[in-house]
Amino acid sequence: MSSTANLDDDLRAAIVARADAILDDRDVMNALIAANDQAMGGNVVDLRGIAMDRLESRLDRLRDTHETVVSAAYDNLAGTNQVHSAVLRLLDADDFDTGLQLLRGGIAAILRLESVALVLESAPTGTAAAPARLGGVLTLAEPGFVARYIGTDMARQVTLRVNSAPAPQVHGRAADKVRSEACLQLHLGDDRLPGLLVLGSADPHQFEPKQGTDLLAFFAGAVERCLIRWLK
């Protein structure tokens, strides 16, 4: 028996022993199918091969969908962890001033934001005044400012939008860097005017209108409760 025959026998034995590996290898199976089609000639239509091609295309689409779903799940988990960490950090504050410092520093870092702005409407003093930004985070504004700033359905607690011209009176010096923002309405009680927490991001895709708002609504609720406690 020649060395070529021995090599063929060895190869055959290896294939027989690992036939499952051949079936699991897409490139090898494609090569075998192509060789079979060539052997049959151009006048023969292999329906089984066509069906396999369609199944392979469907498998590719399912794999892409699976990867997209897994990626979205990881993103959602990361976002959940960020919001939970921010809420826990916010609960460390015992008073209003400390809360403002946390919003400006730790909370902004945890949520990876360029700007965190807290807008509180205040009763008019007799003369109209422009919104005043205090301490890098707090903005005092006249009644009605929140509704005008959001400019959409006030029944929604969270408004997401891509912002090409963010307001300096809200975002301060970070306004030039903000490309998307989340506007979180704050209801501080029947005896108080409404407030607004504005989160600004340099990523234009971080706060897009098509995204879900459940996590941000939860964060807004936590901020509301903290503010009510601090402002007593």
69-230: what CATH class?
Answer: alpha beta
- pTM, full prediction: 0.67
DSSP letter for 133, please: E
Q: Are 158 and 187 in contact (CB under 8 A)?
A: no
Q: So where are the chain's domains?
A: 3-44, 69-230
Pick the more confident residue, 75 or 62: 62
Q: CA-CA distance, 163 to 147, in Å (whole number)?
A: 17
pLDDT category at 159 given cuts 50, 70, 90 is very high
How large is the average pLDDT for residues 66-83?
A: 75
DSSP-derived pairing of the beta strands 195-201 and 180-186? antiparallel
Query: Higher model confidence: residue 140 or residue 74?
Result: 140
Q: What's the rounded Cα separation, in Å, for the pair 29 and 35?
A: 10
Indicate if the pLDDT at residue 70 is higher than 80: no
Select from 139, 129, 153 the least CA-distant residue to 198.
139
pLDDT by residue (tens digit) across 97-117? 899 889 888 898 999 999 999
Q: Which residues lie closer than 8 Å to 51 by C-beta, 6 or more apart? A: none
Among 9-23, 108-122, 170-184, 206-220, the range scoring the smallest mean pLDDT is 9-23
Q: Quote the CA–CA distance of 95 and 79 in Å, as a whole number.
A: 27
